[in-house]
Structure 1
Amino acid sequence: MRTILLFAAAPLILAALPASANDRPIPAKISTGAYDDAEKALQAELRIYPNRPELLLNLAAIYAKTGRAGEARTLYAKVLDQRDVLMDVTADKVAGSHAIANTGLKRIQAVQFTAR
């Protein structure tokens, strides 16, 4: 099963943005820095699909970018507790959900070490 990782695919979708900021797809919100809007949209999707790795990974990335490392770690761990799923990260690149989650965890750890 392959799913699309929204956060990584966001630049590919920017060309088709609707006029209203509220109508923009989640990847566009993330790539333009509208993290609050993207977070709300992801949380709404997660209420419907609580274990979708692409939703969890994108929300974890938003948490990491907005200084909520603990929450990001929790979501990355939730992805790692599930089976590994191949995901399209760009039009020509595929990665497993576990590899993406581990990369996210390493980035959080690297940021924390440089902040000390």
Structure 2
Amino acid sequence: MRVIKAIIVTAMLGVPAASAVAQDRADPYAHNAIEAGDFTEAETSLRAQLALEPTKPELLINLAAIYARTNRLDAAQAMYARAMQAENVSLLLRPDFAQDSHVIAKRGMMKLERQRMAAR
């Protein structure tokens, strides 16, 4: 049985996406900071939450997208790879659209390759 979880993925993945600390359970995936473009705050929050839940796909994918948006492509690739090794869960991207975490991570990796090619 597949579990559906809610997540907001950053615009880097083509889907519209603050907590100052990860323990803010109202925003565990740093949605508000990401949406506001405060990637420093979002990264701090996600890294702290990831220390508590190191295999949570929502955290790995959002942190990977932040790394990609801030041109840290190797770090982004490492987070997407970790998301691919984590449990494949269905993530609610919008109220009417869900997608598997592995599909999202693969798509993120493909976008990283395009970023690398464009930078050459």
Corresponding letter in the other structure for 2:44 = K
1:33-44 matches, within 5 Å, as 33-44=37-48
1:1-54, CA deviations, whole angstroms, 9 ceiling, x for partnerless residues? 11122325765xxxxx8xxx7489410100111000000000111111111100
> Does structure 1 residue 70 correspond to structure 2 residue 74?
yes
Give how far 1:114 is off.
1.3
Q: Which has the larger radius of gyration?
A: 1
The 4+ residue runs of structure 1 with deviation greater than 2 A are 6-11, 21-25
1:10 and 1:30 in contact (8 A); partners too: no
TM-score norm. by structure 2 comes to 0.81
TM-score norm. by structure 1 comes to 0.84
Q: Give unmatched runs, 5+ long, in structure 2.
A: none
Q: CA separation in 2, counterparts of 1:10 and 1:48? A: 26
Aligned to 1:14: none
Aligned to 2:60: 56
Aligned to 2:9: 7
Instruction: State the number of aligned residues.
Output: 108
- Give secondary structure in 2 for the equivalent of 1:6: coil
Q: Give unmatched runs, 5+ long, in structure 1.
A: 12-16
- Give the one of 105, 109, 113 matched to 1:109: 113
> Does structure 1 residue 87 correspond to structure 2 residue 102?
no
